[in-house]
Chains A and B, each alone.
Chain A
Amino acid sequence: MNKLFLVTAATVGSLMFGAPAHADGPNDAQIAAIVVTANQVDINAGELAKSKTKNEEVKAFAQRMVTDHTGVNKSAVDLVTKLKVKPEQNDTSRSLAAGGADTIKKLQGLSGKAFDKAYVDNEVTYHQTVLDALDNTLIPNAKNDELKALLVKVRPAFVAHLDHAKHIQGSLGQ
């Protein structure tokens, strides 16, 4: 089991078990911080992949991640600004940021096919993690209707990205 997987698995754990949907769950300000951090982590990985990969399919996917997650973040920031909610860092957002930084560090040490595989494998795990977090923690705990609606609206993008990443994972493995 490689280190990248362990880092991602740790992030998965913190997201899945950190905050069940009840009174102890994150508040809207914390959800805002988690959403913005989650998107930023994938934008950073995408930027790195764009500059390192030689594989056109991986490059196009990385560009898509940068564009789509930047769009989601802009909408999220616009909404919380309008709602006058100040994103509040919390254990989950901090863990995501730390996991993202670790992933970047690991990926920087790789090149060629090893890089492509590690990046795409991480994208599969990352999108599954965020989907689980959306379903189990973020959407159920969001109090503000507009924030909840935004989370529901972005969910299909994470599903499509996950499918796309799995598709590339399959073609890289051949």
Chain B
Amino acid sequence: MKLPLSSNAAVKGAIAGSLIAAFFFSYSGFGFTALPSITHTVIIEGMKFVPDTLTVARGDTVIWVNKDFFPHTVTATGGRFDSHEIQTAKSWKYVPKKIGQFGYLCTLHPTMKGILVVK
């Protein structure tokens, strides 16, 4: 297969892209734009939430990934959020809007517990 760009042009393009990205990154870093929301991942494996306590900022995204061989849930004990069953190799995403400390568990395996701290 013949590429439309010479490798030299591709490299130049990549460098230019990095410079542009670096510029925007530093620009936003000086507070001209709102801080980007961060994505956090909690791995569900071996009947555990890892990490079992996670601290995030309001508006961040939290993804729970089920790496066990059977379904689990991420269910806030106070009822604020509930993933319902997350199947094997699937994930569930939540964007917390409210500040606070939220304990959660897997309703299918109640010995599995975690805490989401939203600041």
User: Could you tell me which A residues sit within 8 Å of B by CB distance?
Assistant: 64, 67-68, 70-72, 74-75, 153-157, 159-160, 163-164
Contacts and interface: CB of A to CB of B under 8 A. Distances in A.
B70 A72 contact: yes
Contact of A160 (B45, B47, B69, B71): B47
Given A159-B47, A163-B111, 8 more contacts: A67-B108, A68-B69, A70-B70, A71-B69, A71-B70, A154-B69, A156-B47, A157-B47
Contacts of A67: 70-71, 108
Contacts of A75: 69
Interface in B18-55: 45-48
Nearest to A67: B70
Nearest to B88: A71
Interface of chain B: mostly helix, strand, loop or mixed:
loop
A119 to B, nearest CB: 19
Interface of chain A: mostly helix, strand, loop or mixed:
helix
Nearest to A72: B69
Contacts of B86: none
B112 A160 contact: yes
Interface string B73-85: 0000000000000
A155 B69 CA distance: 12
